[in-house]
Amino acid sequence: MRSRYYFIILSLLVSLFIYLFYRTEKTVVNDMLIRLISFHTYSRIKQDVMQFLPLNEFLIYSVPEGLWVFCITLTSKPYFIGWNCRRLDCLFLPLIYCISLEIFQLLHLTNGRFDLMDIQISILFWLIANHFFKYEREKQNILRPLNLRSLACFTSYGVVYLSHVLQ
């Protein structure tokens, strides 16, 4: 159980690193950092990091979304959403999220560009989180009772907003 959280934290940190130093400064997380340290300082650090550790486009543009999906899959696994005697297993929310996001990009309803590779990588990371990290307990309704773990799940979805590209 504890190792699951180490993987979540490590994945979030790797994604954060890639977003901060290899993606556009128009993402929410980069905008926050620029406001904190100044654009000049940010640009200098970003340039130094990119020279010291060059990454290819696959690592920069596809892997972070896969890592987000990995994280939200692990935090969603213990839960379902219940309404009117129906249940939606939260395990499938990350897949719904990543495929919907790519479709919204294809239809130009959100910023970004459609990339089939992003869907494939997200499915791969979802499969890894689903099959290599077992959850043996009975699933709980994510809203009843609201506790620290369910809040962590909601927070993991909220963290995804940090990768959003501002206009």
Tens of pLDDT, residue by residue over 37-83, are: 999 999 999 999 999 999 999 999 999 999 999 999 999 998 999 88
Angle CA 7–68–27, to nearest 5: 130
Full-model pTM: 0.85
Q: What are the boundaries of each domain within the chain?
A: 2-163
Tens of pLDDT, residue by residue over 97-146, are: 999 989 999 999 987 788 899 999 999 999 999 998 877 788 888 888 78
Distance CA 163, CA 22 (A): 12
State yes or no: pLDDT of 4 exceeds 90.
no
More confident residue, 6 or 21: 21
Distance CA 108, CA 98 (A): 15
Distance CA 73, CA 27 (A): 23
